[in-house]
Structure 1
Amino acid sequence: MPAETTARRPLLHQARKAVRRIEERTPPHRDRAVDGLRALALLAVPLGHWMLGGFTRGPQGALHNASPLATFGFFAPLSWMLQLLGIFFLVGGYSSVLSLRRATERGESAGHWLRGRLVRLGRPVLGVTAVWAGLLPVLAFCGVPQATLRTAAVLVVQPLWFVAVYAGVTALTPYCVRAARRWGAGAAVPLLGTVAVVDFLRYGVVAQQMPSWFGLVNLLPGWLFGYQLGVCWGVGRLGRKGAAVLCVGGAALFAVLLLGFGYPASMVGVPGQARTNSHPPSLLVPALASAQCGAAVLLRERIGRLLRRPARWAPVVVVNLSAMTILCWHQTAMLAAAVPAARLGVVPGLTTAPDSLGWVAARLVWLPVFAVVLVAIGRVTRRFEAPWYGAGRGARAAAGALAAAFALYAFAVV
């Protein structure tokens, strides 16, 4: 018998054992479809950043951010499929309703529940920023160019804005629940209307009179839209008929905005373009979220049936347990490959400009490497998601100081 086959048997046995263990520990009432949707939205974040973000290599091997979207306009539909934040906010709102309900039944106040949620969000963010605050001077001492350090800071901060926004909408959960119980899915309509009015003012005939910061008004309603729909789903005020309206209506609005009103086709920012759809969100964001959320609700039962198989369910559990680790550290995984490669010279798909189909093919080859590096990093950094019981007050204060230092540096360079 080949040695490879013999060596593979223990690994398969361990994998099957882990799958059985996860299946046995899953409560019968667990909503597998919701967890599956969350895992899908989570994995789309690193995949989107790894495929739609690249580097150019400058003098002394300095790395600068670049995007294939600047060259390949036909890549824009890929951003529609990888921009699944609408679904993430949907399942976030749904899960928050259930979590808040359980906390209330235990006699906890909404404030106590919210503090617990925010602490769980904040620990991994504090961890990644503190680590990078210590890592930057080490990299500088090792000769890494300042331009590369600035690029790294931008990439590390890039996914963290989402955590801040998510924390903000989570704080509004009790009010979202009241609105959902009173108006049903109609509670999301004013949010959509607000984004539409802001877009009309900043892109319409009075655009020249609007201050540059005016688009930030859309920050809350643009992202709260999907969360409010999730809350409505959680309290039983969003069913299949409403989901069908959301799906069809959102897709129609999305098409009208693209074809009739000149909205940028990409859901992420493209270097050189004056307008962006996501920072801050334009009307295209809730339009896409509407279509995605409607489809998710309609497919819920089918997804749940698919995830009844233990081999499909186990990876979903692993991804959900590592949610914040994936969000906070996936850019670090890409940088862990790119920064050393930049010192070696031109590496296809990594340090070459993302302006050719050859780069696309090479980047696809790099994706498994990034994933393996992320898993390796996650084995160490997942401890940031758990309570820091072993850390003393001095260690926590030091982590906070380092995180603040990194925040100041990132604010200066972003």
Structure 2
Amino acid sequence: MPSRLRAAVRAIEERTPAHRDRAVDGLRALALLAVPLGHWMLGGFTLGGDGSLHNASPLATLGFFAPLSWLLQMLGIFFLVGGCSSVLSLRRSAERGDALGQWLGGRLARLGRPVLGVTAVWAVLLGVLSLLGVPGGTLRTAAVLVVQPLWFVGIYAGVTALTPLCARAARRWGLWSAVPLLGSVAVVDFLRYGPLASQMPSWLGLLNLLPGWLFSYQLGVCWGLGRLRRAGGYVLLTGGAVLFAVLLLVFGYPASMVGVPGEARTNSHPPSLLVLALAAAQCGAAVLLRNRIARLLRRPALWAPVVVVNLSAMTVLCWHQTAMLAAAVPATAAGGGVAGLTTAPDSLGWVVARLAWLPVFAVLLVAVGSVTRRFETPWGGAGRGVRAAAGALAAAFALYAVAVV
């Protein structure tokens, strides 16, 4: 290891407080990195007749990719550690005498600034790329990909606002406080997939949005307050795995955890009961492995990357699709398809080629993130005019995205 890198690792280790929960940070980093890896491996492109990029998925033709989605769909872990860290942060804020609104405003601002940044930048990029002759189809595809991860931020902001209520429920009922959320999703799934499905409105599944993602967050709040221990971890791991198998093998839920083009049903948008079953099993495993992960991350060389990833969490989330587009859009100018990048994701050859592209996407993400990470810090130095312009550009991009998604 070069001396400068060793010095950086040592500095991170020395600045880490003794009380820092390394396992929670490690789980957050793991869940976060699964987002770009999932989008980069489970999403692809095809080229239209005019040379424009269109979204495609290997899941449509490569059925063996479905189990891969079980590993890469780690939002349950993300919401688990989010609930855990939020309730502890809220408690520290209360001990300092801060008002609830002050705490919540700070949390939401940290989520909102990077989203405002990426949407404002892309509002400008769409115009620039159009002037450079990039086809409209490619611009629409880019808008869809940029928006794709941002729905998570809205949901996460919503459940964060409910942290005080979640904490109250966790203190009173412990792990049982998450059961009504599971039951709510089960009822909605029964109505939209059961014998009365033909009589149900198409929007019924939207009722699963809040309880579906709040379930893991509530488990995290219980974890942070000491109401979810190893015994509960075994219950979640075993119960979630059994429920997952039953839903998949008996009730015919789709095997993929993400949407598949051409499929009538999807598990993730909005979340189905299968998503909650997987989340329960993942959360149980996280609880049971907490001490082992913490011991592993006592090694400075392993802990330093975790810190770096966590410090750039929103940058990774908001800009990883841009990194992939930074490789794919210029490749269309070459004419013809580039293996693993702009060719149809329908063969093992595409899988091998896409694996080779992953380091390129990662390098591009680091390059983009080195510039855009400033959106994560407070914009105190920006004047009102700059902030207003950013807001207007973001609104313009949002209107375009709504029109094409």
Aligned to 1:376: 367
Please tell me whether residue 193 in structure 1 is matched to residue 186 in structure 2: no
> Which amino acid counterpart does residue 169 of structure 2 have in structure 1?
A
Give the corresponding residue for 1:367.
358
* Structure 1 partner of 2:86: 96
Does 2:54 align with 1:58? Answer: no
Shift of 1:287: 0.5
Alignment counterpart, residue 389 of structure 1, candidates 371, 374, 380: 380
Which whole-Å deviations, capped at 9, do the CAs of 1:60-104 have from their partners, x for residues lacking one?
210000000001111100000000000000000000011001100
- What is residue 283 of structure 1 aligned with on the other side? 273
Counterpart Cα distance in 1 of 2:184 and 2:40: 33
- Residue 5 of structure 1: aligned partner: none
For 1:193 and 1:16, locate their aligned partners in 2 and report how far apart those are by CA, in whole Å.
50
Matches within 5 A, 1:391-410: 391-410=382-401
Match of 1:352 in 2: 343
Other-structure match for 1:7: none
1:23 aligns with 2:13: yes
Separation (CA, whole Å) in 1 of partners of 2:341 and 2:149: 20
Matched, 1:137 2:127: yes
Aligned partners of 1:365, 1:235: CA distance in 2, in Å? Answer: 43
Deviations 1:165-210 (A, max 9, x none): 0000000000000000000000000000000000000001111111
- 1:11-45 deviations in Å (ceiling 9; x for gaps): 81111111001001000110000000000000000
Offset from partner CA, 1:102-139 (integer Å, 9 cap, x none):
10011011121011100000000000000000110100
Aligned ranges for residues 261-272 of structure 1 at < 5 Å? 261-272=251-262
Specify the alignment match of 1:127 in structure 2.
117
Q: Residues of 1 paired with 2:360 and 2:2: CA distance?
A: 22
For residue 291 of structure 2, what is the amino acid of its counterpart?
E
Q: In structure 1, what residue type is equivalent to 2:109?
A: V
Within a 5 Å distance, the mapping from 1:273-352 to structure 2 comes to 273-345=263-335, 346-352=337-343
Amino acid at match of 1:300: R
Q: 1:73: which partner in 2?
A: 63
Work out the CA distance in 2 between the residues paired with 1:33 and 1:15: 23
Aligned residue identity for 2:270: P
Amino acid in the other structure paired with 1:373: L
Is residue 23 of structure 2 the alignment partner of residue 33 of structure 1? yes
Give the distance between the partners of 2:181 and 2:380, measured in 1 at CA: 40
Q: Distance in 2 between matches of 1:334 and 1:45?
A: 13
How far apart, CA to CA, are the structure 2 residues paired with 1:29 and 1:117?
A: 21
5+ residue gaps, structure 2: none
Q: Secondary structure at the match of 2:142?
A: helix
Listed one character per residue, the Cα deviations across residues 272-319 of structure 1 (whole Å, up to 9, x for unaligned) are: 000000000000111000000000000000000000000000000000
The separation in 1 between residues aligned to 2:96 and 2:227, in whole angstroms, is 24
Counterpart of 1:162 in structure 2 is: 152
Name the count of aligned residue pairs: 404
Q: Aligned partners of 2:128 and 2:64: how far apart in 1?
A: 40
Instruction: Give the structure-2-normalised TM-score.
Output: 0.99
| Counterpart check, 1:412 vs 2:380 | no
Identical amino acids, percent of aligned pairs: 81
Q: Does 1:148 align with 2:138?
A: yes
For the residue of structure 1 that corresponds to 2:2, the secondary structure is: helix
Report the AA paired with residue 398 of structure 1: A
Give the counterpart letter for 1:378 in structure 2: G
The match for 1:215 is 205
Give 3-state SS (helix, strand or coil) of 1:268's partner: coil
- Secondary structure of the residue aligned to 1:55 is strand
Which amino acid in the other structure matches residue 233 of structure 1? W
> Within 1, Cα distance between the matches of 2:354 and 2:4?
31
Question: Residue 204 in 1 paired to residue 194 in 2?
Answer: yes
CA distance in 2, matches of 1:382, 1:34: 22
Distance 2:367 2:51 in 1: 26
CA distance in 2, matches of 1:189, 1:57: 46
TM-score for both structures, normalised by structure 1? 0.97
Report the AA paired with residue 347 of structure 2. Answer: S
Q: Which residue of 2 aligns with 1:171?
A: 161
CA distance in 2, matches of 1:348, 1:247: 40
Opposite residue 328 of structure 1, the aligned amino acid is: C
2:45 match: secondary structure: strand
* DSSP 3-state at the match of 1:213: helix
Task: Map Cα deviations across residues 345-396 of structure 1 (whole Å, 9 max, x no partner).
Answer: 2100000000010000000000000000000000000000000011100100
User: What is the aligned partner in structure 2 of residue 234 from structure 1?
Assistant: 224
Query: Aligned with 1:64: secondary structure?
Result: strand
SS in 2 for 1:355: coil
1:140-170 deviation line (CA, Å, top 9, x unaligned): 0100000000000000000000000000000
- 1:237-288 deviation line (CA, Å, top 9, x unaligned): 0000011000000000000000000000000000000000000000011100
2: CA distance, partners of 1:73 / 1:349: 18
CA deviations on 1:210-259 (whole Å, 9 max, x unpaired) are 11111000000000000000000011100000110000000000000000
Give the Cα–Cα distance (whole angstroms) in 2 for the partners of residues 121 and 252 of structure 1: 35
Residue among 215, 219, 233 paired with 1:225: 215
